[in-house]
Amino acid sequence: MSGLIGKKIGMTSIFDESGKNMPCTVIQAGPCVVTQVRTQDTDGYDALQLGFDDISAKNSNKAAEGHFKKANTSTKRKLVEFKGFESEFKLGDTVGVDLFSEGEFVDITGTSKGKGFQGVVKRHGFSGVGQATHGQHNRLRAPGSIGAASYPARVFKGMRMAGRMGNERVTVQNLRVLKVVPEKNLIVVKGCVPGHKNGYILISK
């Protein structure tokens, strides 16, 4: 699906027409530059490679500089391919936040905040303090029994246990666009999106 690369600015809240207070996220969406055009003849599929967020030339290599020079643009930090653009774009064109309109729904993909190694209460929502059953009776936040005895004599795959939490690719679907501010390249969507402030996210129609 067509979309843009953006950066999470932060959360706030706005009032709708009926006076209801809605939590929302402010996103800097673009402007993105078309750095490569994939076609069916040369690549076997149709897509646009978009670049976002300038970096200095000293932080890139010669191959990257040559790649961006073809598009007649500065070196970019983030490159992502999108399929399904309705309009025709050429190498070096700019795709802005006007790609979206107020009231439509978008999917947003980002990397969730890393929480480190967490126990089952925080990671999976176990109740912790509760009945002294299932092998857990003297430790308040322990998971309890994780399997049977001599049969099956193993722990099944997918057993919910303690481990690393967060820092995963997460997609939140059907977030409504509340406001578009083209002059500042801002888009406001209802609800929250994954990741920390200034984290990169992908906004798909």
**Residue 130 confidence (pLDDT) above 70:** no
Which residues are registered as beta bridge partners of 165? 116
Q: Quote the pTM value.
A: 0.83
pLDDT tens digit string along 2-16?
889 999 999 999 998
Q: Do 142 and 105 share a structural domain?
A: no
Q: Looking at residue 91, which CATH number applies to its domain?
A: 2.40.30.10
CA distance linking residue 60 with residue 78, whole number of Å: 12
152: cis peptide before it, omega within 30°?
yes
Which residues are registered as beta bridge partners of 186? 28, 181
**Residue 134 confidence (pLDDT) above 70:** no
Q: Do 67 and 145 share a structural domain?
A: no
Q: Do 177 and 87 share a structural domain?
A: yes
Mean pLDDT of all residues in 125-136: 70
Q: Do 174 and 103 share a structural domain?
A: yes
Q: Do 200 and 183 share a structural domain?
A: yes
Give the residue numbers spanning the domain of 175. Answer: 3-115+169-204
CA distance linking residue 156 with residue 172, whole number of Å: 29
* pLDDT number for residue 167: 95
Which residue, 15, 28, 166, 161, is CA-closest to 100?
Answer: 28
Q: How many domains does the chain have?
A: 2
Q: Do 141 and 48 share a structural domain?
A: no
pLDDT tens digit string along 143-202?
888 888 899 999 999 999 999 999 999 999 999 999 999 999 999 999 999 999 999 999
3-state class of 105 per DSSP?
strand
Q: Do 133 and 68 share a structural domain?
A: no
Q: Do 28 and 87 share a structural domain?
A: yes
Q: Do 190 and 89 share a structural domain?
A: yes
**Residue 136 confidence (pLDDT) above 70:** no
Q: Do 101 and 7 share a structural domain?
A: yes
Q: Do 149 and 80 share a structural domain?
A: no
